Amino acid sequence: MKASVRFSRGRLEYTGRIARSVFTSWADSLEGQRLLERIASRIRFAPFGKRHASRRRVWRQLVEAARTEIVAVNVQRELDAYPLRLEQLVYAPDLPRVGIELRRLVVVPRLLLNGAMYSRLDRSLQVLPVFAVAENGRPLRDWFTLTLMSALESAMAAARPSPWHPVPAGEGWITVGINERFQWQPPLDGLAWTGHYYVLELRRIAITRAVRKATRDAIAGLEESLASLSGLHRAEILRRTAQALEYSEPRTQRN
C-alpha cells in the first residue's frame, strides 16, 4: 500500500503518496458521499454519471495537491518537528516516569503530539485551492490531515522502537516503546489517538545490556500502573502536559 509517511534512516519522511484504497473508503463513507453529491450537483453533464465524475475529480485534485511543493515542505517540516516536540514534552513534571540507572524513562501520550501537529497542518493546508473553498475544502482538508496522522502513527509503529532498537526523539532522548491502545480520554469528534511513547533519556555513558533489560522491565511495570489510573487522573495529566507544549515551539531539524 502506498503510504503518505514512512520511517526511513531514523526519521519520518513524507512521500507525497495517497493510497487509493484509503480514499475509496472515505468516498464511500457518509461524509464522503455528502461531499461528492454536492460536487456532482454542480456538474452539468458527465458521460459516466455525475457521481462517478465527482469522485474522479476529487481524487485527481487530492493526488495533485499531495505532490505540490508547498504541501511537501509544510508536511515534512511538521514531521521533522514531531520528535522535537516529543523531547520537549518529556520535561513536563506530571507525566508518568521512572528512573533507570540515572536515566529517566517517561510516558508521553500520543494525543498531545498528534493534536499539535494536526492543528499546524490544518492551518498550513488552508492556502491550497482544493482545501480553501469553505463548503468543500474543510471536509477534504480534515480527511487529508487525518490520513497523514494515521500514516505517521503507522510509520512509527512499523519502526518498532524498543530498548534494543530505539528511535531518535530529539537530541537527548530515544523512543524505546509504543503502546497503541491505551485510552487517555474518550474520543472527541471521532479523534481517538490512543496510546503513548516510552522515551528514555540519553547520557554520556553507553546504554548497556543491563540498562536495556531494566528498561524493558520498567515498561512492563508502567503498563500495569497506567491501567489503574482513573479517568480524572488521565485527564489532569493531559491538561497539565498540554500547557508545556504551548509555551514554546521546537526548531525544525535540518535535513
The DSSP element (H or E) to which 222 belongs, if any, is helix 209-227
**Per-residue pLDDT averaged across 119-146, rounded?**
79
Average pLDDT, the chain: 86
Query: pLDDT per residue over 210-255, tens digit each?
Result: 999 999 999 999 999 999 999 999 999 998 888 766 654 544 444 4
- Residues sharing a CB contact under 8 Å with residue 22, sequence separation 6 or more, in sequence order: 147
Whether the pLDDT of residue 163 is over 60: the answer is yes
Contact 234, 95 (CB under 8 A): no
Compute the half-sphere exposure of residue 154: CA atoms within 13 Å on the CB side of its CA.
13
**Burial class, 93, CB count within 10 angstroms (exposed 0-12 / middle 13-18 / buried 19+):** exposed
Torsion angle (degrees, nearest 10) of CA 77, 80, 84, 89 = 80
**Per-residue pLDDT averaged across 75-87, rounded?**
90
**Per-residue pLDDT averaged across 94-114, rounded?**
93
C-alpha cell at 194: 490512543
C-alpha dist (Å) from residue 78 to 11, 208, 211, 215, 242? 12, 33, 32, 29, 18
Contact 204, 122 (CB under 8 A): no
The pTM is what? Answer: 0.85
Whether the pLDDT of residue 135 is over 60: the answer is no
Query: pLDDT per residue over 47-67, tens digit each?
Result: 556 777 888 888 888 888 899
Percent of the chain residues past pLDDT 90, beyond the cut? 47
Taking the C-alpha atoms of residue 213 and residue 169, their distance in angstroms, rounded to an integer, is 20
